Amino acid sequence: MNEATDPSVGILTYHVAVNNGAVLQAYALWKVLNDRGVSAEVIDYKPLPAMAHYTWFPGHNRKTAKIRHKLKQLLSKNGAYFGPDYLAWVTRYLKTTHFISQQRASSAKTFFSESELKEVSGKYKMVICGSDQIWDYSTSFRGFSSAFYLDWVDTRYTFKASYAASSGSVKTFGAQASKVKQFLSSFTNVGVRDQNTQILLGEECGISSELTLDPTYLISWDHMLGASPCGNYLFVTLENSVLPQKIEALIVRIAKERNLQIISVSPEHAFANVIANNLGPQEWITYIYHASFVVSDLFHGIIFSTKFEKPFMAVPRSHKMEKVGALLNSLGLEDRIYNPALQNQTPEHFRKWVGIDYSQAKRILELQVQSSQNYLGSLLKLVSDKNP
């Protein structure tokens, strides 16, 4: 899909990672605006450190240590490069870039630095930053970026707002708090994805904000779903492929007792019947949709499991526990998080995993979706009332 015709709204987020969740959240925000009759486009901003982290392959410039590591893999007998794992990654990369080019509108120009963004400082009636962890500067590849606080936007011509923005695992803005306050003070509305971000902004910056759902909850995905890849199956989709033996044993038991095949995205999972490590965004949500059970440590893996009302087990790593826990607590589904201290082999506890009642979560989500849609409606009213 090409750039939008005379776009009124620009969206700034991490949107080009070989990461299904990142790609789908960017698409979802664009889609919900488009469905409401707004001409919007994703600003094709590719900050080089983040691009290097998310889409590295031979030819990209990375730190010497990373290059040495990849060369060692290349030269080793069992190295990933030019082997099955690498080819699967290339396939995912191609599927991801195809999805981005075909499914949503993007700006005609690609921007690689904050200074370049100033070229479109007054192009839109509104720029919305978010969703996702655009304000998480705890990692070296993200860092603290004023671009995602829209300091490049000219407020004489353009409104600034955020939707479902997150500071991720950041516990304090520290020395950056005064800058954050300065940047966000010029926003018409501040929408955040989680309570951690809301509390930080309120306590450290004096900025009030509204909780808004990840945009993947706001749209129907029926138009994206393909046919089931096989019969009944349990789908394992993890960022961290290493699982404790107790979790592996529980996965195998669930699959055996429910007569399910096990499909995993991780080649390391010897317990899986099928390895599917080359899934693009549409295939990935299709696999979740048709699964009889899902095991995931991914934030968006868990979101789509709840969106499609699937029985699931969340096994988040420590750095994702806060956002996964906050999401599932808000839906009354916190018992879906695997806790080794509470696991035992009683029939009652096992039945907890294979069955799930979504009635309460569904009611909560309906209210949250309506609240988030109302928030977007207030932004779009500003856009529609603004003079050309």
Segments forming the whole domain that contains residue 349? 223-356
The answer to whether residue 93 is domain-embedded is no
| Same-domain check for residues 375 and 245 | no
The answer to whether residue 306 is domain-embedded is yes
Say if residue 223's pLDDT is above 90.
Answer: yes
The answer to whether residue 59 is domain-embedded is no
Mean pLDDT of 235-247: 89
Which stretch of DSSP H or E encloses residue 371? Answer: helix 359-385
| Same-domain check for residues 330 and 297 | yes
pLDDT of the residue at 203 = 97
Amino acid at 47: P
| Same-domain check for residues 211 and 242 | no
Report the number of distinct structural domains present in the chain.
2
The answer to whether residue 166 is domain-embedded is yes
**Predicted confidence (pLDDT) per residue in 243-292, tens digit:** 989 899 999 999 999 999 999 999 889 999 999 999 999 999 999 999 99
Contacts of 338 (CB under 8 A, 6+ apart): 247, 250, 313, 314, 315
**Predicted confidence (pLDDT) per residue in 283-317, tens digit:** 999 999 999 999 999 999 999 999 999 999 999 88
| Same-domain check for residues 129 and 203 | yes
| Same-domain check for residues 272 and 378 | no
Which range among 74-83, 106-115, 352-361, 368-377 has the greatest average pLDDT? 368-377
| Same-domain check for residues 347 and 380 | no
| Same-domain check for residues 34 and 159 | yes
pLDDT of the residue at 83 = 56
Q: Can you name the residues that pair with 314 across neighbouring β-strands? A: 296, 337
| Same-domain check for residues 306 and 378 | no
The answer to whether residue 161 is domain-embedded is yes
The answer to whether residue 94 is domain-embedded is no
| Same-domain check for residues 317 and 381 | no
| Same-domain check for residues 252 and 324 | yes
Q: What is the DSSP letter of 210?
A: E
Mean pLDDT of 43-58: 70
CATH number, domain containing residue 291: 3.40.50.2000
Which stretch of DSSP H or E encloses residue 114? Answer: helix 114-117
Query: Could you please report the per-residue DSSP string of 141-194?
Result: TT---GGGGTTTS-TTT-EEEEEEE--TT----GGGHHHHHHHHTT-SEEEESS
Amino acid at 168: G
Mean pLDDT of 190-213: 97
| Same-domain check for residues 228 and 290 | yes
| Same-domain check for residues 247 and 131 | no
% of the chain surpassing 90 pLDDT: 68
Position 354 confidence tier, pLDDT thresholds 50, 70, 90: confident
Asked if residues 200 and 184 have their Cβ atoms less than 8 Å apart, the reply is no
Q: What is the DSSP letter of 3?
A: P
